[in-house]
């Protein structure tokens, strides 16, 4: 028996279903659209796909507002389409991770409708967090929603319900056993349908403490939780140490129960990865203790500057912290919630960083479109759909830029994504970045990713620890060149703006600057690039 489970050092490709491929011309991607393009995904060389939610939903928050977690929203197809997708993926040797959203339901879920009807003090209301107003009529506490505005909304009879996100996303009360039972049913439902695991949305949020108390600095806390707001590190950290609705000890009980369910599927090697934004970083390791989940996202690289010292620190820390619980790290440069990496740090830099992290131990996550080098789409405010844009009255632009659909082929927008009008406009300037164009260009980002993943599988998978190479000994200034050796491969990232002549033996097998980079002759690592050398 193979003792290394598939997910230990997997490459996982995140698909945002609405933005991948539209099979029926309504302007929105759908499940049959994904199924028909899985060969493209397989050819990238990934091990698994993670599908952002495709469940029944009024789609106020891109499907993260789930009205029926055990059915498919008609905009994406139906359950038969989900089965067909899973079947095709498995034929192509791709595992499938589904997204599970346990912190909240949509206000269109049956339970919430029943709770509104049943009234105060009812068992139906107890599945959510319903509280009476304060004597002066204000909400039960002063918490602020992560999407802006108060995190409480009042219903007709005067009670308030808690929502950490949009008012259409009432938080579930995990102290109510119905909630637990229902999620266990949902997990089994999808596992029985064939999925190989889950990405757990807001995994750190399920348990709340001190709902009866005001937070001493709700605005500070809400700013500290927002990545787009700058704040002095110490002040931010102090606020994040103890968030009454995040990372409470109680969440771990839930994952211990879930783990037993996953393990009951035996050699199917079911895995789960937690979305857990927690502080301090060591807390993340609790989610991947042996009897809990398998992976936890490391979000450091979603916000990290292209800076050698910074990257060295976060990468080292992540490897070391995970090792304390015998887990491997995860690496993600982009996802559906943050600006695309090419926009955030620059095109060359993003390719260099991708090639660098593909060589690291652990699992790498790729957000669909990243392999084309896509930047964020340029949108006007009238295009925007993210609830955070509306709840903040436009102060937060929101996450739509990263969610613009993929350009597939042709010269004119929407580049084959749909025969209709895409739900978000695709910039005409993306004409050079279609799958079709990049497929036929040996030096495209797409081919860089394909080659890198093939080389990773061949030379690096399972080859254990990295050994950092001291930049001084390579003749570089601290932080300008990062190098490490792992198994048979040495990896160098030049973070400076100058080409770097490297005194190092071996054969270059890939460069983030494409095949034209002639290391063999000149031993030059071009500015803002990464190379792999076979020792």
> Any idea which residues carry the catalytic annotation?
201, 275
Q: How far apart are CA 358 and CA 360, in angstroms?
A: 6
Q: How far apart are CA 500 and CA 145, in angstroms?
A: 48
Nearer to ligand GLC, 60 or 486 (CB): 60
Tell me the number of residues near Ca ion by CB under 5 A. Answer: 5
Give least dist CB 337 to ligand GLC, A.
5
CA distances from 457 to 353, 454, 462, 463, 472 (A): 18, 5, 9, 10, 30
Tell me the number of residues near ligand GLC by CB under 6 A. Answer: 10
Beta strands in 59-106 (DSSP E): 68-72, 95-100
Determine if 66 is a binding residue for ligand GLC (CB under 6 A).
no
Give the residue among 94, 130, 138 at the shortest CA–CA distance from 114. 130
User: Binding mask 185-204 vs ligand GLC (x if CB under 6 A, - otherwise)?
Assistant: ----------------xx--
Q: How far apart are CA 463 and CA 40, in angstroms?
A: 27
Beta bridge pairs of residue 285 = none
Nearer to ligand GLC, 59 or 451 (CB): 59
Q: How far apart are CA 348 and CA 490, in angstroms?
A: 20
Q: Is 24 exposed, middle or buried (0-12, 13-18, 19+ CB in 10 A)?
A: middle
DSSP string across 45-58: T-SEEEEPP-EE--
Binds 26: which of ligand GLC, Ca ion, none (CB < 5-8 Å by kind): Ca ion
Determine if 61 is a binding residue for ligand GLC (CB under 6 A).
yes
Residue nearest to ligand GLC (CB): 64
Binds 398: which of ligand GLC, Ca ion, none (CB < 5-8 Å by kind): none
Determine if 26 is a binding residue for Ca ion (CB under 5 A).
yes
Give least dist CB 300 to ligand GLC, A.
16
User: Binding mask 322-351 vs ligand GLC (x if CB under 6 A, - otherwise)?
Assistant: --------------xx--------------
Select from 44, 48, 96, 101 the one that contacts ligand GLC (CB under 6 A). Answer: 101
Strand arrangement of the beta sheet that strand 11-15 belongs to: 295-296, 271-274, 197-200, 95-100, 48-51, 11-15, 363-367, 330-332
Select from 12, 13, 15, 22 the one that contacts Ca ion (CB under 5 A). Answer: 22
Give least dist CB 414 to Ca ion, A.
12
Longest Cα separation, the chain: 78
Nearer to ligand GLC, 101 or 302 (CB): 101
Point out which residues bind Ca ion (CB under 5 A).
22, 24, 26, 28, 30
Point out which residues bind ligand GLC (CB under 6 A).
61-62, 64, 101, 165, 201-202, 275, 336-337
């Amino acid at each position: 028996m193979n003792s290394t489970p598939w997910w230990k050092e997997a490459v996982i490709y995140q698909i945002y279903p609405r933005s991948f491929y539209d099979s029926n011309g309504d302007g929105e991607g759908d499940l049959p659209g994904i199924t028909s393009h899985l060969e493209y995904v397989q050819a990238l060389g990934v091990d698994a796909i993670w599908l952002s939610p495709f469940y029944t939903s009024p789609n106020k928050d891109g499907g993260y507002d789930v009205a029926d977690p055990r059915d498919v929203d008609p905009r994406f197809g139906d359950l038969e389409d989900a089965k067909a997708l899973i079947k095709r993926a498995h034929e192509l040797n791709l595992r499938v991770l589904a997204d599970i959203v346990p912190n909240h339901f949509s206000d269109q879920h049956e339970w919430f409708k029943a709770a509104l009807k049943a009234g105060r003090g009812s068992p139906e209301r107890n599945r959510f967090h319903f509280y009476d107003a304060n004597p002066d009529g204000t909400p039960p506490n002063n918490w602020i929603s992560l999407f802006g505005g108060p995190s409480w909304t009042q219903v007709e009879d005067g009670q308030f319900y808690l929502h950490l996100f949009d008012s259409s996303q009432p938080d579930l009360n995990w102290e109510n056993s119905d909630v637990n039972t229902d999620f266990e049913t949902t997990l089994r439902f999808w596992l029985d349908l064939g999925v190989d695991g889950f990405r757990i949305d807001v995994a750190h949020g399920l348990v709340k403490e001190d709902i009866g108390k005001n937070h001493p600095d709700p605005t500070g806390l809400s700013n500290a939780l927002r990545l787009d707001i700058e704040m002095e590190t110490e002040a931010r950290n102090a606020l994040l140490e103890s968030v009454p609705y995040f990372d409470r000890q109680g969440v771990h009980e839930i994952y211990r129960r879930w783990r037993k369910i996953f393990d009951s599927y035996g050699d199917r090697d079911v895995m789960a990865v937690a979305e857990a934004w927690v502080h301090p970083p060591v807390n993340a390791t609790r989610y991947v203790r042996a009897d809990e989940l398998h992976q936890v996202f490391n979000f450091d690289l979603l916000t990290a500057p292209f800076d050698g010292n910074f990257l060295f620190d976060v990468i080292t820390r992540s490897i070391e912290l995970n090792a304390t619980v015998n887990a491997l790290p995860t690496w993600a440069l982009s996802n559906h919630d943050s600006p695309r990496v090419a926009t955030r740090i620059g095109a060359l830099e993003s390719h260099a960083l991708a090639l660098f992290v593909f060589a690291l131990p652990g699992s790498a996550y790729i957000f669909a479109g990243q392999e084309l080098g896509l930047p964020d789409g340029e949108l006007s405010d009238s295009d925007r759909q993210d609830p955070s844009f509306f709840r903040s009255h436009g102060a937060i632009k929101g996450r739509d830029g990263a969610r613009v659909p993929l350009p597939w082929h042709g010269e004119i927008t929407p580049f084959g994504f749909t025969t209709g009008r895409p739900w978000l406009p695709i910039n005409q300037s993306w004409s050079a970045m279609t799958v079709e164009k990049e497929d036929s260009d040996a030096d495209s980002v797409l081919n860089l990713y394909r080659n890198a993943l093939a080389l990773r599988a061949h030379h690096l998978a399972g080859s254990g620890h990295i050994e950092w190479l001291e930049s001084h000994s390579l003749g570089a200034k601290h932080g300008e060149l990062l190098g490490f050796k792992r198994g048979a491969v040495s990896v160098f990232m030049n973070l400076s703006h100058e080409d770097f002549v490297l005194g190092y033996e071996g054969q270059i097998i890939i460069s983030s600057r494409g095949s034209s980079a002639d290391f063999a002759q000149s031993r030059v690592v071009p500015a803002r690039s990464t190379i792999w050398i076979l020792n």
